[in-house]
Structure 1
């Protein structure tokens, strides 16, 4: 097998084959055409680190000298990944181009961790800041089904979009945003990622675990925690600590000050380690985050949204999820009404933030033109959580979906004319790990609670079967 044939096999196997050819042309002085081996639609522009260049050069030379079989070429690249992983001081996880990609004839990962060019829906292609790439982290097209939610007035029917089924440790709609943000981080050759949130942040948990899957180091700024003793190993905090996140404690401060701390830390990390550091804003609220939910709206269309529903209800924290859905609804000329139940910020604060998001992607709209923000449900929704789980088997969390569902039920009863029609679609954004932070202990044993059906063994009344 000659050099050209060997390089062709490399291109077939390797995720970013143009690097192989560039190395061959420079280091081996081999003049060959890449067109026969490379699919031009794949992401192929990457910056090669010094250690990567060394191992790639070594492997290409070995492959050319030894005239190996396809199997040996695959083994060379597996060796490359393992060597590269061990030689990166800042990373304790496997390289994101791991050996799952080179098992011949078996599609084991269904494209997971592969980067692709992103194509925005046709109705959104005139917007600003369209992401260029997306990396697959989960299987989407999450199901929609009827939800027999207790307490819904008879005139309404409620359905649920199950984004809580988007994965296991990455469960929830946050993974939709991260598919865009991590594509951008990888294209910038980031070795570190900085983000932040509250102690029980779903966002921080998802970012930390995704970092480790790509061999990156997560740095988490924990809001409203000033002492190490205040940290806990429960719920989401347990999971991002298990991911080996570098934690930075941040006393209470404003949203703007906290965002500034994230950006400042990213610069500090980059200088300290002399490696690129990517900063993800609070909650992932950014233009790429908006497009994650613009894409979700296209998914809903393909699932029969226009023919089957009148209103959409979703919980809203920093605004990105609801804004993306509302933009999709507006741009498609849909007649549905979007309702966002605030779980943290006032309607005034959210309106200001979403107005800026809309302007940033090139829309001359106001928040009130495209969605109905419902506030007044910022308190914990513990009773709703236990009532819903006991009656429907759907798990809600105390921070997002619990409050959002409570808001939906109350509005259906108190302000039914707010809704455009009778068929309501609730977007379940995930967050189930928030149930395991210990706060549910205070309600589980309350008299009359749906989660408190506990009986001692009735030994006298149930004779044992012989």
Structure 2
């Protein structure tokens, strides 16, 4: 696949490591061999998967002459944090529209990513109720900025469009280069599935590289059928953008929604257990919203015998650990 046709910034210094989680695999009885792709170690203020997407999205913005970025996310959005951090590096203004998906959860003095938005000196933060039309809100902000002579560029939530998803097609190719160089087999990949760009890019990338390693998404918000439709459509659009010769089979998109719990960003017992187990056994920090719930799904799939005994399973760690500090009472209440 040829990525040189698209503008791209060089935010990645090298491939993120793939590590064998020997302690966690042993704790789980060695039913499967668990590996982790450490995209939590990507550069940016606090690390995380959105840096891969922003390599393409911010390059597109700069090529179009933008001087201002507008994006959106939840009140503890990892995407908003990383967008703000790369805007600092690129000397771009940054305006955030935050969706209060759970009423009463936004407070200006909050810890976690919310604190980092201010430390990164974003130009403005607007908070809108859950269920708002976020694209309409960002366009409204864009019109306001244009009236003041600015040249805004809108990055969708999660940088999850065909431009941003290119970052995870490139990641799929990076993974295959690492596996081939290390003579390492992987039978299955598990990823968080939220705004869909990471999941869709990985599906398109695994098909585009002819690796055809199955990719399963663990939902963090939507029901299975809805999320699978969103991921499939974005994977198809991304494949078309890359002019891939093959289309995306519908059966290549698989999601599990039983680990969402009461709703997006709301803690679950299985998420708390997963965060603690990854920390205790592997010294790896997960976040409560995305990687924590995805890891909870991974652990349950292992324990339930979903993967054949002896399988090699790769977990894509999308980062987000700064959000942990906004959830301290959740992890201290049992102590």
Q: Same-fold call, TM > 0.5?
A: yes
Number of the residue aligned with 1:440: 328
Please give the per-residue CA displacement for 1:144-191, whole angstroms capped at 9, x wherever unaligned: 111132653423100111111112515011101111111111112211
Confirm whether residue 236 of structure 1 aligns to residue 236 of structure 2: no
Confirm whether residue 252 of structure 1 aligns to residue 130 of structure 2: yes
3-state DSSP of counterpart to 2:135: helix
Greater RCO (Cα-Cα under 8 Å, separation 6 or more): 2
Aligned-residue Cα RMSD (Å) equals: 2.4
Alpha carbons of 1:400 and 1:140: their partners in 2 closer, same or farther (altered >3 Å)? farther
Q: Which TM-score applies when normalising by structure 1?
A: 0.63
Number of residue pairs aligned between Structure 1 and Structure 2? 316
Number of the residue aligned with 1:138: 12
Please give the per-residue CA displacement for 1:355-409, whole angstroms capped at 9, x wherever unaligned: 3323423278567422321111113311221222022111111011111111001
Deviation at 1:131, TM superposition (A): 5.6
Whole-Å separation in 1 of the counterparts to 2:235 and 2:171: 17
Confirm whether residue 393 of structure 1 aligns to residue 288 of structure 2: no
| 8 Å Cα contact 1:308/1:423 also seen in 2 | yes
Match of residue 196, structure 1, among 72, 77, 80: 72
Number of the residue aligned with 1:304: 179
| 8 Å Cα contact 1:311/1:420 also seen in 2 | no
Whole-Å separation in 2 of the counterparts to 1:227 and 1:193: 27
Confirm whether residue 165 of structure 1 aligns to residue 41 of structure 2: yes
3-state DSSP of counterpart to 1:149: helix
Match of residue 218, structure 1, among 73, 79, 94: 94
Runs of 4+ in 1 over 6 A off after TM superposition: 225-229
| 8 Å Cα contact 1:309/1:336 also seen in 2 | yes
| 8 Å Cα contact 1:398/1:434 also seen in 2 | yes
| 8 Å Cα contact 2:185/2:312 also seen in 1 | yes
Whole-Å separation in 2 of the counterparts to 1:228 and 1:333: 44
Within 5 Å, give how 1:363-378 maps onto structure 2: 365=247, 368-378=250-260
Whole-Å separation in 1 of the counterparts to 2:43 and 2:105: 31
Task: Give structure 2 stretches of 5+ with no counterpart.
Answer: 262-266
Whole-Å separation in 2 of the counterparts to 1:229 and 1:377: 24
Alpha carbons of 1:355 and 1:424: their partners in 2 closer, same or farther (altered >3 Å)? closer
Q: Which TM-score applies when normalising by structure 2?
A: 0.87
Within 5 Å, give how 1:38-187 maps onto structure 2: 121-122=1-2, 132-147=6-21, 148-149=23-24, 151-167=27-43, 169-187=45-63
Name the stretch that deviates more: 380-389 or 221-230: 221-230
Alpha carbons of 1:229 and 1:154: their partners in 2 closer, same or farther (altered >3 Å)? closer
Larger Rg: 1
Deviation at 1:136, TM superposition (A): 1.4
Whole-Å separation in 2 of the counterparts to 1:407 and 1:223: 26
